Structures are given as structure tokens and as C-alpha cells.
């Protein structure tokens, strides 16, 4: 594959530090820190605007798009990022404070230019699980930044999107000179997948990307990532399980040690209800990358299997040695609810609210609501607010469907689920126990049929 522009890099060398923006990973030698999403976004934004003076308003817009937050939230994030980088406000090496004006990134950095095929981070869900997509956020997790509670906003990262467009133009220039370059077709397809995010599920996008990937394979059938993306595309957009499996298997033959491949295949198998097969690929992923032991992937799979005792064991194992970050809290929230420990589940929800910059007044109101009526009342409160912050239940309208289930309003839950057909987490609708109260409802079965998903209870 030809060299790609340095501007598309998502891995940077910053002095002794190496920052992987795709996986929120900051490392130095054997020392590794997994940054919270907001800190990783802040660091990435600083790098992208290196040397520029960034006002508080610009930074808050970049880190909490669409959300009104106070200066204190930014100050805390700056302080935590400085701590991670071992920077000092009085003698800064990375982040300089300019009184009354904002902040400035003052450190030199060197972008790495990996192969485009190794660069995909996804938008929202692929960020972690971007971690499981799987990192979860567990379930395809689609972790989106907080948006105003009065409407559903679409989050976009303009610098990232512009880079993807530049990458597409770069590969089109290559094809103008060499129409037989298979890597260029694959590069365009991957950049479009990054650019579209969940929009890839909408009609009109998938056929173009499928054609690009098929053309790449016609020219070079050994491109494992082309097979991987075709497998994902058949899973996401066409619900063609046989074609998805065929391309996953071919990709594995070509690249048996590809971490991302095992991750993608595991989540596909999970959606199919093939839990043990899914766990086998997670085990292989952990053998290839031991850092995934700290991700809540296995908890998620156990929960889908309704093996809540094993989910608790895995949760306790992670809890004893890992920091209590966002993904930990989401897992804890779900495990405690499944075990009937609603007080503990709610406490983790409060942590997520604070992380999303809810005000003290809002948190106090939430606590009073829970004390009066438990989780059902808390879910009703979130639903009445049309809360759009991601508190572990994805983003609206899917989040509202899940709140409606928690509030006991099944008809309203089905209304919102029908509106959420093009959100990635619906791919796990058939196996997620959150939807168990709906499984005997004809509208739920009709929804599964429309999505070409099999109801395990049918």
C-alpha cells in the first residue's frame, strides 16, 4: 500500500509518550494508561490544534459537543490530563495556561502513519470496544458524547472527517495513475466507513462500499481486511449471516493473529447467539493483546448468556486490579441491576452522571427520585427529561427505549425501538436480556423479523 498523508495518523509520539488516539492509550515503555474518552478527546484535540490558543469555549465544544458544561468540568479535565502526562501548570511542557485567553499545546509531536487498514477507529461505538465497539461499550456500544436533552444531536468530529475526505482524495489520485491498485480501493472503503459511522446502516451507502471492497478483492484476494470489512458489512447492513461468516473465515485464514478481526468476529457470533464461539475469539484476542483482560468484553458476553454469576466473577476480577473508569462503571451498573442490587446499580449511574457533567441539582433530584420509587422511578425521570447523555444505555432513541423498559412502559419502549432501527446496538436486540420483557410482544417479533434477527424465545 502506498504511503498515506501524515495528517491521517491517529498515533503520535510526544516526547517519551506514545498516544494511540484510536484506543485511548497513552504509553511510555512498559507503562500504559487507558485514558477516559473525554481525556483522550482533549489530548487529541490539543495535538490537532498544536500551537494554537484554544479558548475555554472552543475546548468545551470539542470535548462535550452540544452539551452546556461549566468551566470547572474543563479545569478538572485539564488537571487530569496534565497528571497523566506528568505535566506541571507552573512549568508546563505540554499544556500552557494563558490567563484570560485559554490554553495552548506547546510540545513537539511526531505523527505515525500506519497503514490505513490498521487505522480504523470507528465513530462512537467502534471507539472502544473502542472497545468492544465491544469495549461497549458493551454491545456495540456506541458511546456518544452528551448532547442536549431537548433533542438528539448528531456528533461529528470535523477535523477527523476532513482527514477522511483527504484520505479518499489521496487514494483517488492513486487510482487515476494506477487503476489496478487494490489497496487504494480498500483505503477508500475504510475511509468512507470511518466517515459514515452509523450512517452506513442507511440505504444508499452500503452498496457503494461493498462494490469498493469487492473490487479490491478482485484485484487481490489476499487482502484480509477487505474480507473482514465485507463480513462486517454483510452483518451490519445486509444481515446475510452466511456471507458474513464466509468472509470472516477467509480473513482468519489470511491473518489469524489480527486482533481487530477476532474482536469483530466475536461480536458477530454474539449477535448470532453463539456465545461459546464468541468467547473463544475473545480468548484468542486476549492471548494476542493482554491489555484486553481489563476490558469488560467477557462480562458483556456472560450477560448476553444470562450467566450473571459468571459476569459478577469477571467484574470482581477486573475491579480488584483496574481503575474504575467509564467502561468499568457501565459494566458494574448492568451487573448489579441484573443481580437485583438496585441501590448499587444506581450508585454507578450517579458516577456516570457526574462524568457527563450533570449539575449538583440534577444529581440531587435523581437521588430523591430513586429514594421515592427505585430504579423504575429513576428510569421514568430520565425518560421524561428525554435525557440524551450516554449513561450506559447508548444514545437516543435507543436509550429512551431502554429507559421505557425500566419504567415499565412497554408500548413506549417499542415505539422508540422502532425509531432506533439504524443504531448499531440493535444488532444485539435478539440476545440482550434488557429486552426480555418485550419478547412475547408481537411488535417486538415483527421488529426482529424486519431486522432479520432471530428471537431465541420464539
* Cα separations in angstroms, 402 against 33, 164, 326, 354: 32, 33, 19, 20
pLDDT number for residue 423? 87
Same domain as 217, residue 287? yes
Domain contains 300? yes
Closest CA to 444 of 389, 384, 404: 404
Q: Is residue 318 part of a domain?
A: no
Mean pLDDT of the chain: 82
DSSP helix/strand/coil, 28 = strand
Residue linked to cell 420483557: 437
Asked if pLDDT for residue 417 goes beyond 60, the answer is yes
Most confident of 4-13, 57-66, 172-181, 244-253: 244-253
Are 107 and 16 within one domain? Answer: yes
Query: Is 107 found in the same domain as 172?
Result: no
Q: Is position 458 within any domain?
A: no
- pLDDT range class, residue 166, cuts 50, 70, 90: confident
pLDDT category at 320 given cuts 50, 70, 90 is confident
pLDDT in tens, 23-53: 778 888 878 887 877 888 899 889 888 888 9
My answer on whether 174 and 255 are in the same domain is yes
With CA atoms as reference, report the closest residue to 37 among 136, 111, 112, 118. 136
Going across the sheet that includes 25-28, the strands are: 31-34, 25-28, 17-20, 11-14, 110-112
Asked if residue 186 is part of any domain, the answer here is yes
Give the model's pLDDT for residue 375.
Answer: 96
User: In terms of residue numbers, what domain contains 104?
Assistant: 6-112
Helix axes 206-219, 182-196, angle to 10 degrees: 160
If asked whether residues 196 and 61 sit together in one domain, one would say no
Whole-model pTM: value is 0.68
Give the Cα separation of 307 and 286 in Å (integer).
21
* Mean pLDDT across 77-85: 88
Do 105 and 175 fall into the same domain? no
Q: 174 and 247, same structural domain?
A: yes
As a whole number of angstroms, the distance between CA 43 and CA 78 comes to: 9
Same domain, 88 and 169: no
Of 81, 112, 143, which residue sits at a domain end? Answer: 112
Cα-Cα-Cα-Cα dihedral sign, residues 132, 334, 84, 80: positive
CATH number at residue 108: 1.10.10.10
User: Which DSSP string do the residues of 133-186 spell out, in sequence order?
Assistant: BTBTTSSS--------TTSPPPP--HHHHHHHHHHHHHHHHHHHH-TT-HHHHH
- 217 shares its domain with 277: yes
What pLDDT, on a 0 to 100 scale, did the predictor assign at position 123? 33
pLDDT at 159: 61
DSSP string spanning 243-307?
Answer: HHHHHHHHHHHH-TT-HHHHHHHHHHHHHTT-HHHHHHHHHHHHHH-GGGGGSTHHHHHHHHTT-
Q: Who has greater pLDDT, 70 or 228?
A: 228
The pLDDT, as a whole number, for residue 456 is: 57
231 in a domain, yes or no? yes
Residues 301 and 167 in one domain: yes
Residues 78 and 181 in one domain: no
What does the pLDDT read at residue 70?
67
Q: Considering the domain boundaries, does residue 331 fall inside one?
A: no
Residue 230 lies in a domain: yes
The domain total for the chain is 3
Q: Which residue has the cell 495535538?
A: 47
Residue 317: inside a domain: no
Amino acid at each position: 500500500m502506498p504511503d498515506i498523508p501524515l495528517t491521517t495518523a491517529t498515533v503520535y509520539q510526544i516526547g517519551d509518550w506514545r498516544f494511540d488516539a484510536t484506543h485511548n492509550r497513552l504509553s511510555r515503555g512498559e507503562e500504559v494508561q487507558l485514558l477516559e474518552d473525554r481525556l483522550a478527546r482533549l489530548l487529541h484535540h490539543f495535538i490537532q490544534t498544536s500551537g494554537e490558543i484554544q479558548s475555554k469555549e472552543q475546548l468545551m465544544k470539542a470535548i462535550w459537543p452540544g452539551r452546556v458544561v461549566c468551566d470547572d468540568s474543563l479545569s478538572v479535565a485539564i488537571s487530569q490530563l496534565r497528571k497523566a502526562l506528568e505535566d506541571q501548570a507552573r512549568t508546563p511542557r505540554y499544556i500552557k495556561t494563558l490567563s484570560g485567553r485559554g490554553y495552548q499545546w506547546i510540545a513537539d509531536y511526531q505523527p505515525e502513519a500506519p497503514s490505513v487498514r490498521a487505522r480504523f477507529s470507528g465513530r462512537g461505538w467502534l471507539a472502544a470496544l473502542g472497545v468492544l465497539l465491544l469495549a461497549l461499550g458493551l454491545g456495540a456500544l456506541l458511546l456518544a458524547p452528551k448532547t442536549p436533552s431537548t433533542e438528539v444531536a448528531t456528533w461529528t468530529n470535523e477535523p477527523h472527517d476532513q482527514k477522511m475526505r483527504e484520505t479518499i482524495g489521496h487514494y483517488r489520485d492513486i487510482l487515476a495513475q494506477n487503476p489496478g491498485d487494490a489497496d487504494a480501493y480498500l483505503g477508500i472503503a475504510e475511509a468512507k466507513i470511518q466517515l459514515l459511522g452509523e450512517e452506513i446502516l442507511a440505504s444508499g451507502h452500503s452498496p457503494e462500499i461493498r462494490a469498493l471492497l469487492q473490487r479490491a478483492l478482485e484485484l487481490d484476494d489476499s487482502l484480509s481486511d477487505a474480507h473482514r470489512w465485507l463480513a462486517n458489512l454483510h452483518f451490519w447492513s445486509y444481515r446475510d449471516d452466511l456471507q458474513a461468516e464466509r468472509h470472516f473465515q477467509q480473513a482468519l485464514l489470511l491473518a489469524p493473529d489480527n486482533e481487530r478481526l477476532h474482536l469483530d468476529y466475536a461480536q458477530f457470533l454474539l449477535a448470532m447467539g453463539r456465545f461459546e464461539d464468541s468467547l473463544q475469539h475473545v480468548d484468542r484476542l486476549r492471548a494476542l493483546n493482554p491489555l484486553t483482560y481489563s476490558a469488560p468484553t467477557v462480562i458483556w458476553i456472560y450477560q448476553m448468556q444470562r450467566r450473571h454469576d459468571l459476569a459478577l466473577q469477571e467484574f470482581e476480577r477486573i475491579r480488584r486490579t483496574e481503575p474504575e473508569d467509564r467502561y468499568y462503571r457501565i459494566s458494574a451498573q448492568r451487573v448489579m441491576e441484573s443481580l437485583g442490587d438496585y441501590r448499587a446499580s444506581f450508585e454507578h449511574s450517579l458516577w456516570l452522571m457526574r462524568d457527563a457533567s450533570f449539575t449538583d441539582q440534577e444529581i440531587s433530584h435523581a437521588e430523591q427520585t430513586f429514594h421515592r420509587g427505585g430504579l423504575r422511578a429513576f428510569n421514568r425521570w430520565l425518560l421524561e427529561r428525554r435525557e440524551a447523555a450516554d449513561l450506559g444505555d447508548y444514545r437516543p432513541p435507543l436509550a429512551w427505549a431502554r429507559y421505557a423498559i425500566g419504567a415499565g412502559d412497554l408500548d413506549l419502549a417499542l415505539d422508540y425501538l422502532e425509531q432506533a432501527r439504524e443504531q448499531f446496538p440493535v444488532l444485539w436486540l435478539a440476545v440482550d436480556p434488557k429486552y426480555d420483557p418485550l419478547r412475547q410482544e408481537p411488535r417486538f417479533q415483527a421488529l426482529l423479523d424486519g431486522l432479520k434477527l432471530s428471537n431465541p424465545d420464539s
